[in-house]
Amino acid sequence: MINSILMFIVMASALLFGAVEIWSSSVILALVYSLGLVWTLGRGYADYSSPPHTKLLMITGFTFTLYACLQIVPLPLIMLKYLSPGAHRLREFYSLEPSRNAAISLVPYRSLLEVLKVAAFFIVFSVASTYFISRDRLKSFVIALSVFGFCLAVFAIVQKATWNGRVYWFRELSMGGEPFGPFVNRNHFAGFTGMIIPLTLGLAIIKHTREKKIFYGFLSVIMSVAVFFSLSRGGIVSFCSGMALFGVLLLASRLQQRKVWLIGIFLVAVLTYLVWLGVDPIMARFSQTDITKEQRLIVWSTTLTAAKDFWLTGSGLGTFLNVFPLYSPASVQSIYDHAHNDYLEFLLETGLGGALLLACFIGILLRSVFRSSFEGRQGIMLMAALSSMTSMAVHSLFDFNLHILSNLLLFGMVLGMIAALSDVDDPHPPRERRKTARAREQAANGEELMREREHAKKEAEETPDQDAGSEDRPSNKPGPAPGPVAEEDGITPETMEEWEKELKKNR
């Protein structure tokens, strides 16, 4: 049931124009909170549990949600003066009537809407990080996600080829934009699909049959072609970054190095499709120079300047649209509702407190990743999820993908996958893990040697007595004791005991 709800949230949020309108975001948020209720009630009898690092991540997420709620709580002015001097000065300057209480957020209503999205993000993360501990659940979800991503990409390409100025061929764009697929902004389609492609490619790698490898490889190729033909420069760069990380992780893992060639075949297939369909629009897009690139640098520097006045607790989530005009230079004529850099906007709106909580969350997550062994299918899917995360992390440098509800929720699920796929049961650092792996291999070899010796001993006991004078016939004399022979092979009785203990532990 939870798997179906998660998948329905992903599909509905994307198909409803990315859930950027009030009515669509309300529907998706209601679904997410319903999912959280089902998950909370079901945990009492469910057969999965949260590993220690996942619990820390949940606590950090809950703490940040409380921190965001604190921004909209009315505080005494004397307290506001110390917590947010910038907000206090602005309220004194613009206030028409004196007030005893005021919130840290300059626009509490907008901050409340963002708090609801933040809570939804941590709900889907918490559900995914515990539910996807089961590999079967994870695999079924990723398969459904891959098929949906492929269908979304095909629809986007067909709609682009038959474009009549309307999304779904009937919905007019009330505020303009450069749509691709159901998204009113092509960058958001590229960001959404860019998180699905590495997961689909991971499925292609772990499958054993050639037919399934070709099937999932084909799905990932079509989605990649759609990202390129969306003409989103940030999306293309972030996609390439994710694929580069995937290849590096495979090369760095000695157990997975032989599978790097699959990444090469995938890239060759993507390039072949692009050459066949035509790369001129893509090249023209990257060679295009416009004023928005220069203005974006000005917006970033202005955002940093504004962040200095709200350095401790921020101006409040969702207040960039209201704060930026107060600091915007005259050279910026456009109205910016986002900084086109999620990190700078986050710093302005949450301040040092929010930045520290974010750093803590990322640190806990990456620490669990670095302690993972990247072995087997689980390791490959962990690499795929890390590549998906990297794709969105790079894209957030140039755009505001994480302010789009559909992309935010899918990103939360990807982070939940990473937390679930990390080696949570292994308390040893990587070097000790390698030693343990070698010990297990030696123990297995020792067990096989013991079986061979027992078999040889039984054969010797069953062999009838032969003439004692013949040198080339087996003697009636008992053979050498097990201990000395083991020592001749470089294996002492103490080593055999250690192997037996290790085998019992592994079983």
pLDDT, one tens digit per residue, over 94-146 is 774 567 889 999 999 999 999 999 999 999 999 999 999 888 999 999 999 99
Helices (H), ranges, 330-404: 342-370, 376-395
Contacting residues for 90 by C-beta, under 8 A, at least 6 apart: 106, 326
Structure tokens at 239: 């996609």
Same domain, 357 and 498: no
Question: Does 458 map to a domain?
Answer: no
Same domain, 355 and 255: yes
In 3D, which of 476, 477, 482, 481 has the Cα closest to residue 451?
482
Contacting residues for 215 by C-beta, under 8 A, at least 6 apart: 204
Same domain, 237 and 343: yes
Question: Does 487 map to a domain?
Answer: yes
Dist. CA 435–CA 445, nearest whole Å: 15
- Give the DSSP letter string of 77-106: HHHHHHH-HHHHHHHHHH-SS--SEE-SSS
Same domain, 417 and 435: no
Band (pLDDT 50/70/90 cuts) for residue 16 is very high
pLDDT at residue 472 is higher than 50:
no
Same domain, 20 and 54: yes
Which residue segment(s) compose the domain that 439 sits in? Answer: 430-451+480-507
Question: Does 460 map to a domain?
Answer: no
Question: Does 463 map to a domain?
Answer: no
Same domain, 488 and 415: no
Helix axes 405-421, 342-370, angle to 10 degrees: 20
Question: Does 67 map to a domain?
Answer: yes
- Give the DSSP letter string of 422-449: S--S--S-HHHHHHHHHHHHHHHHHHHH
For tokens 């897009």, the residue is 285
Three-state secondary-structure class, residue 11? helix
For tokens 């992390």, the residue is 393
Percent of the residues in the chain that have a pLDDT greater than 90, as a whole number: 58
Considering its fold, how many domains does the chain have in total?
2
Task: Enumerate the β-bridge partners of residue 75.
Answer: 102
Three-state secondary-structure class, residue 73? coil
| 343-384 pLDDT tens trace | 999 999 999 999 999 999 999 999 999 988 888 889 999 999
Same domain, 412 and 484: no
Question: Does 457 map to a domain?
Answer: no
Same domain, 23 and 60: yes
Same domain, 337 and 409: yes
Band (pLDDT 50/70/90 cuts) for residue 452 is low
Q: Identify the DSSP state of 257.
A: G
Same domain, 182 and 273: yes
Task: Enumerate the β-bridge partners of residue 76.
Answer: 101
Same domain, 367 and 484: no
**Environment class of residue 145 by beta-carbon count within 10 Å: exposed (0-12), middle (13-18) or buried (19+)?**
buried
The predicted model gives 285-305 an average pLDDT of 81
State the DSSP H helix or E strand holding residue 227, giving kind and residue range, or none if neither.
helix 210-229
**Environment class of residue 431 by beta-carbon count within 10 Å: exposed (0-12), middle (13-18) or buried (19+)?**
exposed
First to last CA, the chain: 33
In 3D, which of 376, 383, 341, 419 has the Cα closest to residue 124?
419
Classify 267 in phi/psi space as left (phi over 0), alpha (psi -120 to 50) or beta.
alpha
State the DSSP H helix or E strand holding residue 429, giving kind and residue range, or none if neither.
none
pLDDT at residue 458 is higher than 80:
no
Question: Does 473 map to a domain?
Answer: no
pLDDT at residue 450 is higher than 90:
no
Dist. CA 105–CA 203, nearest whole Å: 44
Contacting residues for 91 by C-beta, under 8 A, at least 6 apart: 80, 99, 102
Residue 218 one-letter amino acid: F
As a residue count, the chain comes to 507
Q: Around Cβ 98, how many Cβ atoms within 10 Å?
A: 7
CA 329 from chain center: how many Å?
37
pLDDT at residue 504 is higher than 90:
no
Helices (H), ranges, 104-209: 108-131, 135-161, 186-206
pLDDT at residue 1 is higher than 70:
yes
In 3D, which of 167, 172, 206, 203 has the Cα closest to residue 188?
167
Dist. CA 61–CA 55, nearest whole Å: 10
Band (pLDDT 50/70/90 cuts) for residue 503 is low
Question: Does 462 map to a domain?
Answer: no
Same domain, 315 and 417: yes
Backbone phi and psi for residue 208, each to the nearest 5 degrees, phi listed first? -90, -40
The predicted model gives 177-190 an average pLDDT of 93
